[in-house]
Amino acid sequence: MLFIQNDPPPDSLMDFPPCTYYNDNSERSRIEVTDTSMMDGVQEVLDKLRPFLLRDGGDCELVDVEDGIVKLRLLGACGTCPSSTITLKAGIERALLEEVPGVVEVEQVF
């Protein structure tokens, strides 16, 4: 089992403090997770792509980056579009893989 301890929510997504993860074995090992540079790089690429999404009535929101997996929420028209998987994988994921070191995959969250 994995326990997560975090400070109260910040005012913006980019102000999140690092999470502290504890596993429940007897030694209670502690792992600090700080992916702020990757989050900044992902956000920068998303900001470049955003005008194309907005032009079609959609948008995306960065939810989390965990172990190189970028979690995005598609908004507006993108959230219900039958081509959203293509947009996510062939467009957004490809751009992130090329421009942000450490990104391995993009997943859609709802």
Average pLDDT per consecutive 10 residues, the chain (110 residues; last block may be shorter): 44 42 41 66 96 94 94 93 92 95 94
Together in a domain, 73 and 94 = yes
Number of domains in the chain: 2
Which structural domain, as residue segments, surrounds residue 13? 2-33
Q: Does one domain contain both 7 and 27?
A: yes
Looking at residue 36, its pLDDT comes to: 80
Helix (H, G, I), strand (E, B) or coil at 19: strand
Among residues 44, 45, 57, the alpha carbon closest in space to that of 83 is found at 57
| Same-domain pairing of 50 and 85 | yes
Tell me: do 95 and 41 sit in the same domain. Answer: yes
Q: What contacts 60, CB < 8 A, 6 or more positions away?
A: 46, 49, 50, 53, 72, 73, 74, 75, 78, 92
Residues 18 and 41 in one domain: no
At residue 12, the pLDDT reads 40
> What strands, in cross-sheet order, belong to the sheet with 30-33?
2-5, 19-23, 30-33
Structure token digits, residue 78: 């993108």
